[in-house]
Amino acid sequence: MKSTIALTAVAALAAKASASCFAERMGYPCCSGNEVVYTDDDGKWGVENGNWCGIADEPVYESCWSESQGYPCCSSPNAEVWYTDESGKWGVENGDWCGIPKGTPTPIDDEPYEISGNPFKGVEFYINPYYVDEVDGAIAQMTDSSLIAKAEKMKTFSNAIWLDTIKNMQSWLETNLQGAQSQHQSSGKDILTVFVVYDLPGRDCHALASNGELLANDGDLARYKSEYIDVIEGHLKKYNTQPVVLIVEPDSLANLVTNLESTPACADSEKYYLEGHAYLIKKFGVLPHVAMYLDIGHAFWLGWDDNREKAGKVYAKVISSGSPGKVRGFTDNVSNYTPWEDPTLSRGPETEWNPCPDEKRYLEAMHKDFKAAGIQSVYFVCDTSRNGKKVDRKHPGEWCNQTGVGVGARPKASPVSGMDYLDAFYWIKPLGESDGTSDENAVRYDGYCGHETAMKPAPEAGQWFQKHFEQGIKNANPPL
């Protein structure tokens, strides 16, 4: 019977060991997994969330009953039960069945979680199992041992889970909330999961490569509310013992700042962008364990003085429309390549007189302007998944599958001293997933994906792009 039950990637990560380990007395945490990266006289070491952690010896229970049937025992009596038969209860670890020890489970505090301050601080970041699976597929295509080693490290870092269609939301939201809850119950740690809410009617009105499934009309707005936002709300309310961050609708509001007059599709979408945001802020912004960040494009979209001033008014209006819901802050550089710091650039002809030619200067300016616009909570999450190296683009507005890509700073809370309003560096756009197809005959072909500095041939947006991934890990800064 067990062999006929489908195992998901989430199930493979569901049960984690909860034993203490040698590393704690040395100031390092214990690993929640068991992948060995390094061994010394103290013991076995792994890497999680970009930090060293100690791997505890496997707990031993007197009743490791499943070994007689050819299966190992699970690492904890708290493991999630996936199947029960006459032998006992079965769980899943490392993609294989394991027997849950017949010990007494450790009680876990399952009180509702309430975010106070920076949601990225003091928690463990959830590892996206879908991305781990994608990277494993990429590794299977590699022969260079040094490149494989870099790719293996990519699996130890957290990135966002994109809910980019109603179907994908139904498949990925609850399973990953369950995965985070199971990891919490077996490890005792608070587990932060990051999702991208991304299915507005008329989505990405100024681009073609990432247009969505819902059109800019009243009927699809009703679907967005009832089939997408309401369903997400229901799952978030059900799984309320762990913190959740929502990255809200990349590119949408930034388009309302700059593209209403030049792009008819954006003018047609304005009503639905505004109503959609008001609705979701009211729904999600009252949940104590959820923090939301609205997207503000990037430095070479809204960085100019007049754009930032207009953005302050637009975002203040949108946030007010969602009252009593609250918004924690804003996210920048999503799916983009602008470096965090670029000291070679200044305000001048090369930057079209943009006073914010990198993301650091952009956020410094946005913090002042948004505060001046009356926005109360102004905190930022910068996407560093692909901005470790200055790419080959000839104009900073280039955005599609840029050559010269390098993965950037690792996900980390409060990463920059003196910028207390920067909540985190985080990988929102998973490196290796395409920005858009370079096939000129494709329905979703966007001219930017055919530009000179866009890597070609490229698959459809969201599909795996092996060459782009390999270049990104080769050019990683800091190195992998």
- The verdict on whether residue 240 carries a ligand-binding annotation is no
- The verdict on whether residue 350 carries a ligand-binding annotation is no
- DSSP 3-state assignment of 419? coil
- The verdict on whether residue 301 carries a ligand-binding annotation is yes
Residue with tokens 């650091």, as numbered in its chain: 360
Active site residue 332: no
* Pair of tokens at residue 183: 């990891």
- The verdict on whether residue 336 carries a ligand-binding annotation is yes
CA distances (Å), origin 229, targets 123, 224, 270, 409:
26, 6, 18, 32
**Any idea what DSSP says for residue 424?**
E
Residue from 72, 99, 98 nearest 88 by CA: 99
- The verdict on whether residue 184 carries a ligand-binding annotation is no
> Quick one: 111 exposed, middle or buried, by C-beta within 10 A (0-12, 13-18, 19+)?
exposed
* Pair of tokens at residue 263: 């792009």
- Cβ proximity of 372 and 311 under 8 Å: no
Residue from 231, 221, 205 nearest 277 by CA: 221
**Any idea what DSSP says for residue 226?**
I
Residue with tokens 């991305």, as numbered in its chain: 131
Residue with tokens 């990266």, as numbered in its chain: 37
Catalytic option among 199, 220, 251, 358: 251
Active site residue 435: yes
- Cβ proximity of 216 and 269 under 8 Å: yes
Q: Give the DSSP letter string of 147-179.
A: HHHHHHHHTTS-B-EEE-SHHHHHHHHHHHHHH
465 vs 116: CA distance, rounded Å: 38
- The verdict on whether residue 399 carries a ligand-binding annotation is yes
Catalytic option among 332, 383, 435, 446: 435
- Cβ proximity of 17 and 59 under 8 Å: yes
Question: Catalytic residues, which ones?
Answer: 251, 435
Known binding-site residue numbers for substrate:
162, 164, 298, 301, 336, 399, 429, 433
Known binding-site residue numbers:
162, 164, 298, 301, 336, 399, 429, 433
